[in-house]
Amino acid sequence: MTRDRILDTATPPEAPSRRVGPRKPDLLLGDSHHLCPGCGEPLAVRALLESIEAVAARQAAIGVVGIGCYTTFSGSMDVDLVQALHGRAPSVATGVKRMRPESLVFTLQGDGDMVNEGLQEVIHTAARGEGVTCVLLNNGVFGETGGHMTATTALGQRTKNTLEGRDAGYHGYPILIGDLLAQLEGTAFAARTSVHDAAGVARTRRMLTRAFEVQQQGQGFSFVEVLTMCPTGWFVPTAEGPQYMDEVLGRVHVTGVLKDPSARA
Amino acid sequence: MEGSEAIAEAAVLAGCRFFAGYPMTPFTEVLEGFASKLPAVGGTCINAESEIEAVGMAWGAVATGARAATGSTGQGLSLMQESLSEITRAELPLVVFNMARGQADYYQATRGGGHGDYRHIVLAPMDIGEAVALTQTAFDLAFRWRNPVLVYGDYLLAHTCEAVAIEPLPFDPLPETDWAVDGRLGGSGRSRLLNSIGMQKGRGEIDPERFWKRIQAKHDEIARREVRFDSDHLEDAELVVVAFGSAARFVRYAVGQLRERGARVGWLRPITLWPFCSDAVARAAEGAAQLAVYELNAGQMIDDVRLAVLGRAPVTAIGGISTDTSGFGVGSLLDADVVMRRIEALLERGPEASPDREA
Amino acid sequence: MERVESRGTVTIDRERCKGCELCIPACPPRVLAMSSDVNGMGFRVPELYPGCTGCGACLLVCPDFVFEVFAFDAPVVHEGTS
């Protein structure tokens, strides 16, 4: 492989070709965001918007957004949205879905939002089997407020107040929310994915699409947890984000399908 | 019909199709009323697992443009304050019921226990008949102004039975609920974003100051247009007694009795606790030598009375903290004889010697 | 003379890139490398070398939506220099 010729990447090619995928999701307004370099959340949001299109719900989707770095996308996701308070999206989504059962209703929340402030809300929503899809962006930190520990921070993970790594004796244990929700009878589908590489991003889109299908088929509560990189909160260079996620967060919050409707009796 | 049931029936008649609540005395029967009536009209009633979740569910329901309500008693509403503040500034027309344990939630209702600048329209019915009318009015005002409306009831209202006719009130046409989320504008570039700080789709910059000032202006307009109060015997009154809700029933009766004996006393009853009938109170203070406030708490509405009077006449508290042994219900001060004696004592003492508070 | 085929190519929005380098290891044929110069925000940006397969992995992993990816109808041949 030669490394002595850098190619032109400023303009589209002259040779006949076809475009491979849109540069950004059609349902994303605007051209840029102010999230940190190497942040995994935009990748999850991309997968979410593309999944809405994949299930033909562009004009049926209503989202409820929590509070965190990702809240910046409230202004740029081109679907009807209700901005909720920290932790409270699942109950707001419940009210929306009960009044508009034909809509595709989802929440978008971070781990601080869903597993700290709003733990009770998501558990009750799942237990009731509400026909909504709760989407968790889990990076194990409170990104927006400066990178402190959350209920999902893995043992050994570095955050602003666990600089030596989370220690069980001092800080307690993380909550594996995906696994917890999968145990509830009302949960029809639960999966955990990550966006630390291309395969992970593609898998994230597939799992979100599956979750939306479960909702559309009226099978009950669906949940997708997406592990996202936060190099700023983890105090690592951006290029090391994927590896840190894989080795620290991903060892505790293990990816995979946690529950599928086909498993129910 | 019991007050709780009448309120639920009136709400359903007014088009309410969603209710979420958590059981708490003396509000529980209102929740039961909605639970039994909503399914029959295709509505939804959810026993939420907490008050915070109840107001959250109602938030989602009202965001779709549906007529939705929640409620509790004062303690439960305490839990809901953050959400109520946000819902107001997101301009959502939620109706909230407080079946209060007495009159000590006046501050909570009128000042709001949540953060930031916001106002709820607060309606305080005196009896079940008025509660039936004001419940319907609550939904109309909420949608007319895109603002939450709180209906302030209490134990007595909720748990008394009266013969009542639940008739629909006529209302003027309302504006379209095109602000409500329904998903249909997805992908158009004009999809909706219901939020409390002025975020707009497709715009990176936010101007919360401008957004909140517009809401403040709306509240100023509500204050000019939606004051409701009732009064009697004010023309030659030496003493005007101000009271709200259940206490006002007793004051009205007591003043009626005293008038028959020749006492020059009148009463004034705010129906909207916010916006408060400040002008009416000020006018009453110009005519009368003194005012008295009969409220069953440590003195809350008296602040608004004093602000309206602005020192023109003495204002004396003749009510007080009063409840039963459970702390939920009716205490010894909700008694016509007690009210009459206290009014008479104040009349006898005269304005010059008026104490700040009746012992 | 070395001869390399590209089955695809990309456009890179230099000024939107935040230099996170996630695309570098994500590219299966490893034809992306970070520049030595910087863009207007002060970040180094990816540069493309011959051998792209048009797989779109870079597009998938870029948090700032910097890439457009193209698959050629017919492979483009790059003549190498010694």
Query: Using an 8 Å Cβ cutoff, are C41 and C18 in contact?
Result: yes
pLDDT digit string (tens) for A153-170?
999 998 999 999 999 999
pLDDT (average), residues A186-214: 98
Tell me, letter by letter, the H, E, C secondary structure of chain B. Answer: CEHHHHHHHHHHHCCCCEEEECCCCCCHHHHHHHHHHCHHHCCEEEECCCHHHHHHHHHHHHHCCCCEEEEECHHHHHHHHHHHHHHHHCCCCCEEEEEECCCCCHHHHHHCCCCCCCCCEEECCCCHHHHHHHHHHHHHHHHHHCCCEEEEEEHHHHHCECCCCCCCCCCCCCCCCCCCCCCCCCCCCCCCEECCCCCCCCCCCCCHHHHHHHHHHHHHHHHHHCCCEEEECCCCCCEEEECCHHHHHHHHHHHHHHHHCCCCEEEEEECEEECCCHHHHHHHHHHCCEEEECCCCCCCHHHHHHHHHCCCCCEEECCCCCCCCCCCCCCCCCCHHHHHHHHHHHHHHCCCCCCCECC
Q: How is residue A262 annotated by DSSP? A: G
Q: What's the CA gap between A195 and A200, in Å, rounded? A: 5
- What pLDDT, on the 0 to 100 scale, is given for residue B287? 87
State whether residue A172 sits within 8 Å of chain B by CB: no
pLDDT band at A124 (very low <50, low <70, confident <90, very high): very high
Decide if B189 and A78 are in contact by the 8 Å CB cutoff. yes
pLDDT band at A3 (very low <50, low <70, confident <90, very high): low
Q: Does the domain at residues B230-349 carry the CATH identifier 3.30.70.360?
A: no
Task: Give chain A positions within 8 Å (CB) of C55.
Answer: 20
Percent of chain B having pLDDT more than 70?
Answer: 98
pLDDT digit string (tens) for B314-358?
999 999 999 988 888 888 999 999 999 999 999 988 887 665 554
Decide if A99 and B60 are in contact by the 8 Å CB cutoff. yes
Are chains B and C touching, using the cut-off of 8 Å on CB pairs and a minimum of 3 such pairs?
no
Task: Give chain B positions within 8 Å (CB) of A124.
Answer: 48-49, 53
State whether residue A64 sits within 8 Å of chain B by CB: yes
Fold observed for domain A41-263: Rossmann fold (3.40.50)
Task: Give chain A positions within 8 Å (CB) of B50.
Answer: 120
Residue of A nearest to C22 (CA): A239
Taken in order of first residue, the domains within chain C and their CATH numbers are 3-72 (3.30.70.20)
Q: How many CB pairs below 8 A link A and C?
A: 142
List chain B domain ranges.
3-159, 230-349
pLDDT digit string (tens) for A46-81?
999 999 999 999 999 999 999 999 999 999 999 999
Task: Give chain C positions within 8 Å (CB) of A20.
Answer: 8, 54-56, 59, 69-71
Task: Select from C22, C43, C58 the residue whose CB has the most chain A CBs within 10 Å, as the one to mutate to test that interface.
Answer: C22
Decide if C63 and A16 are in contact by the 8 Å CB cutoff. no
Which DSSP string corresponds to C39-59? -TTS-EEEEE-S------HHH
Phi, psi at C34, each rounded to 5°: -75, 145
Query: Using an 8 Å Cβ cutoff, are C16 and C66 in contact?
Result: yes
pLDDT (average), residues B29-51: 98
Residue in B68, B182, B189 nearest the CB of A80: B182
pLDDT digit string (tens) for B278-291?
999 999 999 899 99
- What pLDDT, on the 0 to 100 scale, is given for residue B359? 46
Decide if C47 and A24 are in contact by the 8 Å CB cutoff. no
Task: Give chain A positions within 8 Å (CB) of C41.
Answer: none
pLDDT band at B205 (very low <50, low <70, confident <90, very high): confident
Cβ atoms < 10 Å from Cβ of A11: 7
**Per-residue pLDDT at B17 exceeds 80:** yes
Q: Do β-strands B265-270 and B239-242 pair in parallel, antiparallel, or remain unpaired?
A: parallel
pLDDT (average), residues B303-311: 97
Residue in B61, B63, B187 nearest the CB of A59: B187
**Per-residue pLDDT at B169 exceeds 90:** yes
pTM: 0.96
ipTM over the 0.90 cut-off: yes
- What pLDDT, on the 0 to 100 scale, is given for residue A1? 44
User: Where does B3-159 sit in CATH, by number?
Assistant: 3.40.50.970
Nearest chain B CA: its distance from A37 CA (Å): 18
Would you call C75 helix, strand, or coil by DSSP?
Answer: strand
